[in-house]
Structure 1
Amino acid sequence: MNVLVIEDEAISARELSGIISAVEPGANIVATLESIEQTIAWLNHNPQPDLIFSDIQLADGLSFEIYEKVKINCPIIFCTAFDEYLMSAFDTNAISYLLKPINKAKVEKAFQKLSTLQQAFKAEGGTQGMERLLSQVKQPYKQVLLVNQREKIIPVQVKDIVYFWLESTIVQVCTIQHQKYFITHSMDELEKTIDPQLFYRANRQFLINRHTVANVERFFSRKLAVKLVIETPETVMVSKTKAVDFLQWLEGGRY
């Protein structure tokens, strides 16, 4: 197996290469590259590897630029100190997202996932099978949101959030424990990172948790008024054009 390592810190690159060799003795590190420019040039003049281990923040920008300019056919395992790029990573051929510090256990788990996908790919057969399997791992919905409260960073379980509410340009989070926080994410960002089976964008201002819907009342003009288990700042309204879709989601038949 030919493995390409993209990492701009020399010590981290050596450590990662050592871990890869220890976990997968048959792995051949074909190159260790440190920048976007260097990597694009290498990929344009060499056969593609079987696997890429890629940092995200490189000296000359984010590594996603590489994958926008060069068509990559092999799986990618991202290694980074930041979780903010999770969704962007899975817009590529990512099969795993490892948070630094990288250790043997994390790399072993990533190789296990790769092996599982490869076996399933053989069973499925053909490019379409691999594309379908890769699409299945592109669902890294957040389980925890980090919110700032003064000098503290507080982890909030997504399943415990009753609703997200947009007031002007600020998004407020309300939990089942009646705790309220403000977050910097936009509602559009939240829709992409939160499981759509659990949360529904009722309207521009509300993103609500399925398990906290107390009842739904039919309103005039075929709109729906949704009541949650916790009082909301204003009535959660669902338009008539979304009413059927919302009810299907509520009973679990939308996805």
Structure 2
Amino acid sequence: MTNILIIEDEAKAARELSKILYVIDDTLNVAGTVDSIEQAVEWFSKNEHPDLIFSDIQLADGLCFEIFERTEIKSPVIFCTAFDDYMMNAFETNGISYILKPISRQKVEKALEKFELIKSLYSKDGTAQTKISDFYRQIKNYKTALLVNQKEKIIPIQVREIAFYYLDKSGVTITTLSNQKYFISSSMDEIENFLDPQVFYRANRQFLINRAAIVNAERYFARKLLLKLCVSIPETIIVSKAKASDFLHWLEGN
């Protein structure tokens, strides 16, 4: 039997979801329904964590992500919402699927199929047997192209062709592997969110670097690393001592 907790502040929506679950599979057991952040935090403090959570995002007393900040959640979560603004936040928690309302049997079945697919990633105590981040990397939709403005032209750039992103006082620029430079309006944090971390690495505050652009890394003063790229760079790229080991693991493909 699969025990499920529903976090939903609309009683009608919670009832409809419960009915859909029972119709899909009578071994799906709704172990509880709560309608607020406070109720959810209290429920987790008194009950064994469920096998799966269905959660609305906008609750009467705030966003459901506060629940994950206030208590350690050991269960995968299927988010149900009328808005698609919070997808990034969802996958930064234990989110495995994101259903846009109105909820239908077809949408729930598809989300449950994904849940069954990744069950093997979770042990009984909620500890990931395989890094959950590796799974998210597989299901998250990273950008493959972006649009840049150049005078009156809008130019599509393939992300794999970008050597690095660079931040200075005037904003963020990109340099391609063919040494073309363009200005973009996004912040470095926004950019980092839509890039595949297996391909791009945040070397420091100024640089996000494509693995394909790296020629070598040299040992530098105080156990730092000095990076050499295959294209010209506006300033020396230094990886701090604290990040050096992580960077080398990434460069090796780990």
Q: TM-score range by the shorter chain?
A: 0.5 to 0.7
Kindly indicate whether the alpha-carbon contact (under 8 Å) linking 2:207 and 2:237 is maintained by their aligned counterparts in 1: no
- Look up the match of 1:182: 184
- The alpha-carbon deviation at position 98 of structure 1 amounts to 0.8
Residue 98 of structure 1 aligns with an amino acid whose one-letter code is Y
- Look up the match of 1:77: 78
Residues 183-241 of structure 1: CA deviation (Å, up to 9, x unaligned): 44334x64466333201234432212223x285698x988444233xx66x25x33376
Q: The residue matched to 1:108 in structure 2 has which SS? A: helix
Q: CA 1:249 to 1:209, structure 2 compared with 1: closer, same or farther past 3 Å? A: farther
- Look up the match of 2:152: none
- Look up the match of 2:110: 109
Taking the aligned partners of 1:160 and 1:103, their CA distance within structure 2 comes to 40
| Fraction of identical pairs, as percent | 35
Aligned residue pair count: 238
- The alpha-carbon deviation at position 52 of structure 1 amounts to 0.9
Taking the aligned partners of 1:61 and 1:44, their CA distance within structure 2 comes to 19
- The alpha-carbon deviation at position 156 of structure 1 amounts to 7.6
- Look up the match of 1:137: 135
Q: CA 1:57 to 1:141, structure 2 compared with 1: closer, same or farther past 3 Å? A: same
Residue 132 of structure 1 aligns with an amino acid whose one-letter code is Q
Taking the aligned partners of 2:136 and 2:247, their CA distance within structure 1 comes to 26
- Counterparts of 1:2-13 in structure 2, within 5 Å, are 2-13=3-14
Residue 137 of structure 1 aligns with an amino acid whose one-letter code is F
Q: CA 1:214 to 1:118, structure 2 compared with 1: closer, same or farther past 3 Å? A: closer
Residue 209 of structure 2 aligns with an amino acid whose one-letter code is I
Q: CA 1:40 to 1:167, structure 2 compared with 1: closer, same or farther past 3 Å? A: same
Residues 44-75 of structure 1: CA deviation (Å, up to 9, x unaligned): 44554332111222221121222333343333
Residue 143 of structure 1 aligns with an amino acid whose one-letter code is Y
1:239 has 2:242 as partner? no
Q: The residue matched to 1:110 in structure 2 has which SS? A: helix
1:96 has 2:96 as partner? yes
Structure 2: give runs of 5+ residues left out of the alignment: 150-154
Q: CA 1:28 to 1:138, structure 2 compared with 1: closer, same or farther past 3 Å? A: same
Residue 131 of structure 1 aligns with an amino acid whose one-letter code is A
Of 227, 230, 236, 2:230 maps to 227
- The alpha-carbon deviation at position 171 of structure 1 amounts to 3.0
Q: CA 1:172 to 1:42, structure 2 compared with 1: closer, same or farther past 3 Å? A: same
Kindly indicate whether the alpha-carbon contact (under 8 Å) linking 2:166 and 2:207 is maintained by their aligned counterparts in 1: yes
- The alpha-carbon deviation at position 175 of structure 1 amounts to 6.4
Kindly indicate whether the alpha-carbon contact (under 8 Å) linking 1:4 and 1:49 is maintained by their aligned counterparts in 2: yes
- Look up the match of 1:253: 252
What CA RMSD, in Å, does the superposition of the two structures yield over aligned residues?
A: 4.3
- Look up the match of 1:27: 28
Q: CA 1:29 to 1:157, structure 2 compared with 1: closer, same or farther past 3 Å? A: farther
Q: CA 1:246 to 1:90, structure 2 compared with 1: closer, same or farther past 3 Å? A: closer
Taking the aligned partners of 1:103 and 1:160, their CA distance within structure 2 comes to 40
Kindly indicate whether the alpha-carbon contact (under 8 Å) linking 2:214 and 2:228 is maintained by their aligned counterparts in 1: no
- The alpha-carbon deviation at position 99 of structure 1 amounts to 4.1
Taking the aligned partners of 2:107 and 2:10, their CA distance within structure 1 comes to 19
Kindly indicate whether the alpha-carbon contact (under 8 Å) linking 2:87 and 2:98 is maintained by their aligned counterparts in 1: no
- Look up the match of 2:59: 58
Taking the aligned partners of 1:215 and 1:90, their CA distance within structure 2 comes to 33
Q: CA 1:82 to 1:146, structure 2 compared with 1: closer, same or farther past 3 Å? A: farther
Q: CA 1:254 to 1:27, structure 2 compared with 1: closer, same or farther past 3 Å? A: closer
Kindly indicate whether the alpha-carbon contact (under 8 Å) linking 1:197 and 1:249 is maintained by their aligned counterparts in 2: no
Kindly indicate whether the alpha-carbon contact (under 8 Å) linking 1:217 and 1:225 is maintained by their aligned counterparts in 2: yes
- Counterparts of 1:192-207 in structure 2, within 5 Å, are 194-207=195-208
